Each structure stands twice: as structure tokens, then as C-alpha cells.
Chain A
Amino acid sequence: MPELVVILAINGLIWGLIIALIALGLSIIFGLLDIVNVAHGDFFMVGTVLAWTVISYTGNFWLAFLIVPLIGMLLGCAVERLVIKPIENSPALSIVACFGLSLILQETVRATFGATPKRILDPIGITIPLLGLNYQIYRLFAAAVAIAAIVAFFLFLHKTKFGTWMRAVRQDRETAIALGLPSDRIFLVTFGLGTSMAMLGGVVAAPITSVEFRLGLDVLPLCFMAVIIGGMGNLPGTAAAAVLLAFIEGIITSFTEPTTARIISLVIMSVVLLVRPEGIFARRRT
């Protein structure tokens, strides 16, 4: 059934674009602050939950695209000041602090939103015929939003002064600080921006997945895979790897069970980690 393969490949592609958006947030936080943010998946989950909340209170899904990234920015900045800043000097401890953060986020959601998974109805509600199946237009829209957000992120990074500062800190932290860049503010905004991207990813993905407090646990390994296979700190590589991974996983899923597909991509990832820890897109060092 070649139709099914194509459909699952397209679904994989769209999911990959959303993962790329989230993984880019993870990657800049890792690149600039040297923090392995294991709570990043939970920020994504909080994004889906907030999208659900916005719909149930205002009845308007599109409002979530506006509100949730803003909340993400504020939440991220608050977390950076309260949790990340006091432990700036120890990468190992920061993983543990982020683990604590992840517990706090999950329990807050479980206490307020509840433990049962909920679904958001397709907000567009129109389908188009695609290879004999009715395909949701929303999925195509989701892909478009993810692409737009990724493009906007790269434009911000390359065309604005603040983006240039961020790239400078990532390249050489000590020199950048010695030259007088406001590292404090840069770290704050970076964490806020990364969190905001994860939560925007949550809004985009909310109508496609179910909404529940454990969602982050599934997404986090995927994001890490994208960051590693793309090369730590290599942002275009991360985005490409996310799309590639989800696309391949989508195709494998059409032949076998999702669990097997996940195992295969994990094995691919460990091979990459061992053979090319600098990522598959990195130029060979001369």
C-alpha cells in the first residue's frame, strides 16, 4: 500500500518540523548556557496544556498562537533567574536542577489540568482528499507555522544586533564577555526564547497529539536525538536532523510497529554519537 507510506511520510515530515522548532530551542540553550535542559520536553507539554486552556476559556484556538509564546518567554525568563542562574557554574548540577524543574512542571499540570489525556478538536475542520484519504488541512497549516517560526528564528539570529550577540556568546563566551556584551541579559533572553519556542511547538502540536502531563517524556528524547545527530550547537543541522529523523521514523512506522521504529532510530542515534559525535552535518576537521 504505497498510499499509506506516502501519508505516513508526510505526517513524519510535519511532526519533524514541529520537533525541529522545539529542538532548536533546546540547542540554543545548550549552546549558550551549557545546560542540558531535561525540562525542555515539559515546557512543550505546558504549551499544549495552555493551548487547551485558551480554547476552553475563550473558544478561540488562534488566540493561543499569540498568548502562549508570550507566556513561554516570561516563564522562561523567570526560570532562568530563579533556577538556572544560581548554578551557572556547574553543568552537572544544572541537569539535576532541570530534572527538579521537570517534576515541578509535571506536578503543577497534573494538579491543575488533571491526569487524564484530553484532545483538542481539529480547529480548521476541513479535509482535502489526498491519495484517496481525507487529509486534515490543519496539519499542513501546522507545518507552515513551524517553518515560519524556524525562519523567523534564524532571521532574528542573523539579522538583529541581539541575535549577533547571541551567536558571539555561543562562539566564544569569555571573549564576548570581555568585549563588554551584556552576558546576563543574553542568557536571560536565550532561555526565554528557547522556552517560548518549545511552548509554541506545543500549541502547534496540540490538535495533532493528545494533551497530557506525560507528553514531555516522549518528546524530549526525540529533541535530543535531533540535537546530537545534527551536531551539538549546529543549529541548521539540528533542524535538518529533526525533519530527517521524523520522516524516516514515519516511513519505518508504515512497515512495522511504532515501538520498533523508535528502537531503530535510537540505534541510529547511538551509532552517530559514537562514530561522529560532532554530528553528521559537521565539516570534517582538517
Chain B
Amino acid sequence: MPRRLAPLQILGLACFVLLLAVPYALPLLGAKFWVNIVAEIMIWSLFAASVNLLFGYTGLLSFGQALYFGFGAYGVALGVDILGLSFWPAVLFGVFVAGACAAITGIFAARLTWHYFAIITVVFSLIFFFVAVGWKSVTGGDDGRPFTVPPVLKVGGVEFTLLDPTFQYYFIMTVVGACFYLMHVILKSPLGYTFIAVRENASRLGLIGYSPYLIRYISFVIAGIFAGVAGVLFALFARYVSAQYLFWTVSGEGVIWALIGGSGTLFGPVLGATFLIVVREELSIYWEHYLFAVGVIVILFVAFAPGGLMGLLTRALDWLAKKPAERTAPEIAKPAPRAKGPGGGP
């Protein structure tokens, strides 16, 4: 007998099918332009998911994920342009560079928690931002550096390149999908549960023999690698890199997407990135100062729906699943009680 699917899983499957249909369905609807936007949303979702892995699971608020995003992007761009690598080696090089950067900075950053962690991640990303701005000959500084993306693979004389929007879409979808699956596996493994444990109570975890530092470090490096993959994809997608992608406001956007979507859930960041990028694309046509609206949306969500879009969605689905007689007004989720000071208390 097949297992009954929860309403949320049915919704997820439906979204997956819709995503598969995008490159064919949207041009039919006369919205070819949106194929690329959906692809971009998937990339930024992965970026937001890396913020969420740290904040939603390990309890570390990073304002510096743009550093690893930027390292991934520069890794692939410079790998192609300066080292003359072909497609796959350049991609691996980009991911490796981002991971190595996270592994080195993580040694220091994972020692800190809370405000101190948030600030040191900003500081690290600012250092490399200024290096990238100053080192114009290699990085292109603020103006950026365009590059030509080599073909992905050749099968019997047929070249697959990212210049074909449909192929590019499926390429991005496959990589992002694989990353989300990997993240799901990690979060459901014993390692993933120790992430949550270190968020909930680091000292108790220490007392039963785990090293909270090591767990934070592992989580930091994994999140850095995922952010790096997002950066690699973005550089390939935009065929361009710029120092601007290392700036802390990019990290801030990732944090906003993760929190608006619902931190601590696997697909919350996807919802958040989708919602805010669609708002951006639709609103910016009519109103140049749409960021004002984004600011208001962020504040309203933080104040009234700390569970984010995912929290609202779960509540709505639960409510629909109940028999009409049992339906009551949904409870408003109360924010968790304040954790006192760095470290999270005893």
C-alpha cells in the first residue's frame, strides 16, 4: 500500500513538475523572459539555503555568506579566463576555492557565536571585498569582469552550451536540485541532528562528549560550499563577475530570503527567494523605489510572522486538512523566548 503523502509533500511534488515544465510552458504563455528569472531564483534559493543551514539549523547568523558566493563566482570565472580551464574543471575549481576559503575563515569564525559571529563574518567578507575592489587588474573591481563560458559537454559533434536558455535552465535546475537533495540527506543524518543540538544547547552537547566548536565548523564549511556552488552557477549564468557580489548587502539579502521564507525548514529559503525576487521583478517595472516596499515587507514579516512564509503555509494547510467542525482560528506563533547572551545559556 502506498504511503499517504502529507499535503505539503503533494504541494512540493506539484512545484517540481511545474519547474520541469517551465522552459516549455512559459514561452507558450508569452513569457519567455521568465525562464531566466526562474533560473536565477533557483540560484539565489541555493544561496539563501546556505544562510539557512547556518542560521536555521546551527543557530549562527552569518552576514558574510557573500564571501563564499563571490569566491565561487571568481573561482570559475578566473579558472576559465586566466587558467584556461575547460568547463567542468573550472566549476570544480570554483567550488574548491569557495570551500577552501570557508575552511580557513571557519577556523576563526566558528569560535564565536551570536553577535560576535555575525560581525566577524561581515568583517571577513569586507576584507575580501576591499581586496577585490582594489585589485582591479584581476577582479575588474566594481565594474566587474565578463568572461566566455566554455561548452558544457560534447556528444558526437553536438555541443551543449549554456548559451541555449533551455539547456542552461535544466543545467541549473539539476545542480540546485542535487544540492538540495544533499542538504536534505545531511540534515536527516546524525550530523544534521547535532547541528540542531548545538543551536539548542551547546554546553549540554559539550557535556555528552561532542565538540560544539567542531560541529559549528563543519556546518560552516558545508554552508560555505553550498554558497560557493550558488556563486559558480551565478557566474556561469551571468557570464560576468564583480566585486559587488562580495559586499555584505548581498549576504544581507540571503538572510532576508531565508527568514522571510522560514528559517529552519529546507524549502523555506526557496519560498523567500521566490517571493522577493518576483516582487522585485514585478514591482521594479512600475516603481523605481520598490526596495522601500521590500523593507516594509521584511519588517512586517519579522513582527507578525516570525515563522516566515513556510510557517504561514503549514498553518494554512493544517487548517484545510481539518474537518470544518474542528476549524478554529489559527494560533499566532509566539517568538521563542530570548536566548540570554552569547553562547545560549546553560
Contact = CB atoms under 8 A, between A and B. Distances in A.
B63, B119, B127 — most chain A CB neighbours (10 Å): B119
Contacts, number: 121
Interface stretch (B18-26, B82-90, B322-330, B332-340): B332-340
A154 B340 CA distance: 27
Contacts of B61: 92, 95
Chain B, interface size: which category?
35 or more
B302 A100 contact: yes
A277 B302 contact: no
A91 B112 contact: no
Given A91-B338, A266-B123, A103 B114 contact: no
22 contacts: A36-B118, A83-B299, A90-B338, A91-B115, A91-B338, A93-B306, A95-B63, A95-B255, A96-B255, A97-B303, A107-B291, A107-B292, A224-B119, A224-B122, A259-B133, A260-B134, A263-B130, A263-B131, A273-B112, A273-B120, A273-B123, A274-B112
B335 A87 contact: yes
Given A97-B298, A97-B302, A100-B302, A89 B335 contact: yes
Contacts of B303: 83, 86-87, 97
A274 B295 contact: no
Contacts of A270: 108, 120, 123-124, 127
A126 to B, nearest CB: 36
B113 to A, nearest CB: 10
Interface string B274-305: 00000000000000110110111111001110
A5 interface: no
Contacts of B299: 83, 97, 100-101, 104
Given A97-B299, A100-B302, A273-B120, A263 B294 contact: no
Given A87-B335, A217-B249, A259-B130, A96 B294 contact: no
Given A103-B291, A274-B111, 9 more contacts: A36-B115, A89-B338, A90-B338, A96-B259, A100-B297, A221-B126, A224-B122, A262-B130, A269-B123
Interface string B72-115: 00000000000000000000000000000000000010011011
B55 interface: yes
A217 B244 CA distance: 13
A94, A106, A273 — most chain B CB neighbours (10 Å): A273
B340 to A, nearest CB: 9
Contact of B292 (A96, A104, A217, A221): A104
A100 B298 CA distance: 6
B289 A111 contact: yes
Interface of B: 55, 61, 63, 108, 111-112, 114-116, 118-120, 122-124, 126-127, 130-131, 133-134, 249, 252, 255-256, 259, 288-289, 291-292, 294-299, 302-304, 306, 335-339
A138 interface: no
A36 B123 CA distance: 15
B134 A100 contact: no
A35 B242 CA distance: 32
Contacts of B335: 87, 89-90, 93
A96 B256 contact: yes
A267 interface: yes
A109 B259 CA distance: 26
B112, B288, B292 — most chain A CB neighbours (10 Å): B292
Nearest to A97: B302
Contacts of A228: 119
A190 interface: no
Contacts of B338: 34, 89-91
Contacts of A260: 134
Contacts of B256: 96, 99-100
A108 to B, nearest CB: 7
A94 B118 CA distance: 13
A110 B292 CA distance: 10
Contacts of A93: 259, 302, 306, 335
